[in-house]
């Protein structure tokens, strides 16, 4: 669809999300107890990208809110070198990078739905990547699996601060989010590690997460 | 449906003021509760840990069955088990079991 067909000045890209240079991050987490970590991952990545002069967005899935304890919920980020045109599409339908904040979400949830071919999956787990790969849907086009023991590097931050768009008094990336974002940087170089360290509350945890990430090439 | 008289006073079936129907007041404790499963709200995917019952150690005391907030404890003749289709893994049964026969096991330790 393009706006030109309707005789208006603006235009959507012909295929949604086919924008050149746009990369989408979907973060899966569990409601209430771990939602702060997902929100921090997308906020930290988007903030780090903004520091590098890129265009970025970070938000939570409105459909999943208000969340309930342990319910699978999502948070999203979009990062691009150019102005983001699909900015009013509220869900990432074709993510390039999927982050799983809690390992058991890989079971029974459509985490790889719509994944771009050769996409990346980052899981917070103490297990080997081969063990996680057993639970993934075959033929999903997953190119790289990265695991990091974020729970062993940091402790979770449980707060309602920053919930549903309120200002966050607890800071960004003080818990699992820092090592998880570090793992995303290591797996796909979405942003630079120095800019990530500059935006998170625990830069050391982000660096340790970056260093301890285990990568497994698939397909 | 058979209804037991809890009203005291005149026994059920006796002809009192207002006739026999007067004693047929339903009482929730005697009424069979409907048993069903909601296919559109399967909550097993909310689970991080899975409660596993050691059926040999279970004494069938039914304390977990009383405490389970989602009626996921299934009763058998000599032990109980868990309905994993709906169990959210809240861990209450594990805490209340007096003989410690329920264990919380990480969900990814199971292939299914």
Q: What are the DSSP calls for A17-62, one per residue?
A: T--TT-EEEEEEEETTTSHHHHHHHHHHHHHHHHHTT-EEEEEE-G
Contacts of A127 in chain B (CB under 8 A): 108
- Whether residue A164 lies within 8 A of chain B, CB to CB, comes out as no
Cα–Cα distances in angstroms (integers) from residue A218 to residues A10, A135, A215, in the given order: 40, 14, 10
Whether B108 and A131 lie within 8 Å, measured CB to CB: yes
Q: Could you read off the pLDDT tens digit of each residue along chain A, which spans 219 residues?
A: 444 455 555 555 566 678 888 999 999 999 999 999 999 999 999 999 999 999 999 999 988 888 899 999 999 999 999 999 887 888 998 999 999 999 999 998 999 999 999 999 999 999 999 999 999 988 889 999 999 999 999 988 888 888 877 788 888 999 999 999 999 999 999 999 999 999 999 999 999 999 999 999 997
Chain A to chain B Cβ contacts (< 8 Å): 31
Cα–Cα distances in angstroms (integers) from residue A176 to residues A89, A152, A184, A204, in the given order: 28, 9, 12, 12
- Calculate Rg over the CA atoms of chain A: 17
The predicted model gives B35-62 an average pLDDT of 94
> A208: how many CB neighbours lie within 10 A of its CB?
20
* pLDDT of B16: 52
Rounded to two decimals, the pTM is 0.84
* pLDDT of A86: 83
* pLDDT of B5: 47
Contacts of B42 in chain A (CB under 8 A): none
Percent of chain B past pLDDT 70, that is, above it, reads 79
Instruction: Tell me what ipTM this predicted complex has.
Output: 0.80
* Contact in structure between A12 and A85 (CB atoms under 8 Å): yes
- Specify the DSSP element, H or E, that contains A77: strand A72-80
Taking the C-alpha atoms of residue B91 and residue B69, their distance in angstroms, rounded to an integer, is 11
* pLDDT of B10: 46
Taking the C-alpha atoms of residue A181 and residue A192, their distance in angstroms, rounded to an integer, is 11
What distance in Å separates residue A84's CA from the closest CA in chain B? Answer: 34
What distance in Å separates residue A123's CA from the closest CA in chain B? Answer: 13
∠ Cα A180 A204 A76 (to 5°): 25
- In whole numbers, what is the pLDDT of chain B averaged over residues? 84
* pLDDT of A163: 80
Q: At what angle do helices A203-212 and A177-188 cross, to 10 degrees?
A: 50
* pLDDT of A98: 97
Contacts of A156 in chain B (CB under 8 A): none
For B65, counting Cβ atoms within 10 Å of its Cβ (0-12 exposed, 13-18 middle, 19+ buried), the class is middle
* pLDDT of B3: 47
* Residue located via tokens 């942003």: A191
Q: What is the DSSP secondary structure assignment for residue A15, as one 8-state letter?
A: S
Q: Closest chain B residue to A131 measured between Cα atoms?
A: B108
Q: Is the pLDDT of residue B85 over 80?
A: yes
Taking the C-alpha atoms of residue A39 and residue A213, their distance in angstroms, rounded to an integer, is 21
Q: Edge-to-edge, what's the strand order for the sheet holding A142-148?
A: A55-60, A72-80, A23-30, A97-100, A119-124, A142-148, A214-217
SS3 B47: coil
Q: Is the pLDDT of residue B2 over 80?
A: no
What's the distance, Cα to Cα, between the start and end of chain B in Å?
A: 41
Taking the C-alpha atoms of residue A111 and residue B107, their distance in angstroms, rounded to an integer, is 17
């Amino acid at each position: 669809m393009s706006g030109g067909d309707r005789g208006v000045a603006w235009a959507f890209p012909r295929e949604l999300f086919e924008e050149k240079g746009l990369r989408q991050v979907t973060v899966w987490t569990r409601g209430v107890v771990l939602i702060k970590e997902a929100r921090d991952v997308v906020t930290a990545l988007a903030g780090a990208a903004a520091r590098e002069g890129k265009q970025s967005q970070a938000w939570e899935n409105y459909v999943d809110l208000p969340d309930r304890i342990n319910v699978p919920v999502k948070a999203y980020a979009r990062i691009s070198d150019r102005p983001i045109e699909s900015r009013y599409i509220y869900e990432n339908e074709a993510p390039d990078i999927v982050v799983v904040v809690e390992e058991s979400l890989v079971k029974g949830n459509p985490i790889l739905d719509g994944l771009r071919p050769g996409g990346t999956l980052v899981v917070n787990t103490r297990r080997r990547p081969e063990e996680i790969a057993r639970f993934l849907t075959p033929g999903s086009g997953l190119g790289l699996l990265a695991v990091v023991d974020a729970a062993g590097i940091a402790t979770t931050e449980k707060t309602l601060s920053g919930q549903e768009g309120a200002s966050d008094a607890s800071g960004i990336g003080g818990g699992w989010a820092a090592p998880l974002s570090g793992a995303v940087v290591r797996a796909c170089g979405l942003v630079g590690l120095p800019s990530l360290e500059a935006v998170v509350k625990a830069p050391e945890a982000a660096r340790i997460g970056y260093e301890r990430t285990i990568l497994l090439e698939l397909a | 449906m058979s209804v037991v008289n809890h009203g005291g006073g005149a026994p059920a079936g006796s002809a009192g003021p207002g006739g026999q129907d007067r004693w047929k007041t339903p009482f929730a404790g005697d009424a069979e509760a409907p048993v069903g499963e909601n296919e559109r709200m399967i909550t097993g995917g909310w689970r991080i840990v899975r409660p596993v019952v050691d059926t040999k150690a279970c004494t069938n005391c039914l304390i977990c069955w009383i405490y389970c907030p989602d009626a996921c404890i299934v009763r058998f003749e000599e032990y109980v088990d868990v309905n994993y289709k709906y169990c959210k893994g809240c861990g209450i049964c594990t805490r209340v079991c007096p003989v410690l026969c329920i264990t919380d096991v990480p969900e990814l330790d199971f292939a299914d």
